[in-house]
Amino acid sequence: MSNEGTPKPGRRVLPDDAAKLVESLRAKLVGKIDTSMATNVPLACRLMGAQTPGLSLDDRLTGEMEVYLYFENLNEVRQSTIANLEAYLSTKEPWEDYDICVFDDRFKWFIGVTHNDAIIAIGIDYLVGD
């Protein structure tokens, strides 16, 4: 761990590419987020999906699966693997309470990892037979 906290998983996506990914993410989440919540509440917390307490990701997400991670409160997108994300979630400090949107490159499914250590999933059923 450094002065900046636990190293974030994967590699940082360049700002221009990250902006395009976030724009696409927001467009794909229309109708999948709770619009009754304030717009300053992070996307990961507003996902309308199945919620599970604790930081246990779905078994259908294999370790080497490539994903994007949107750390909304940092305005940062990273490209990583599920295994690296899981390692980060298990080693981060309690005060590192980021809200993270996890999604695939086709925007078929989304996972919100909230600062409350809850997991909210949408579209994971797409992984069956994928």
Per-residue DSSP letter, 102: E
- In this prediction the pTM is 0.88
What is the pLDDT, as a whole number, of residue 50? 82
The one-letter code for the residue type at 65 is M
42: nearest Cα among 71, 67, 14:
71
What is the pLDDT, as a whole number, of residue 106? 92
Cα dihedral 58, 121, 7, 13, rounded to 10, equals 120
pLDDT in tens, the chain (130 residues): 555 789 999 999 999 999 999 999 999 999 999 999 999 999 999 999 887 655 556 666 777 889 999 999 999 999 999 899 989 999 999 899 899 999 999 998 899 999 888 888 888 764 444 4
Per-residue DSSP letter, 94: T
What does the block give as tokens for 50?
């199945």
**Residue 16: how many CB atoms within 10 A of its CB?**
8
d(CA 126, CA 65): 14
Q: Length of the chain in residues, anyone?
A: 130
Cβ neighbours of residue 101 closer than 8 Å, sequence gap 6 or more: 25, 42, 43, 44, 47, 69, 70, 72, 110, 111, 112
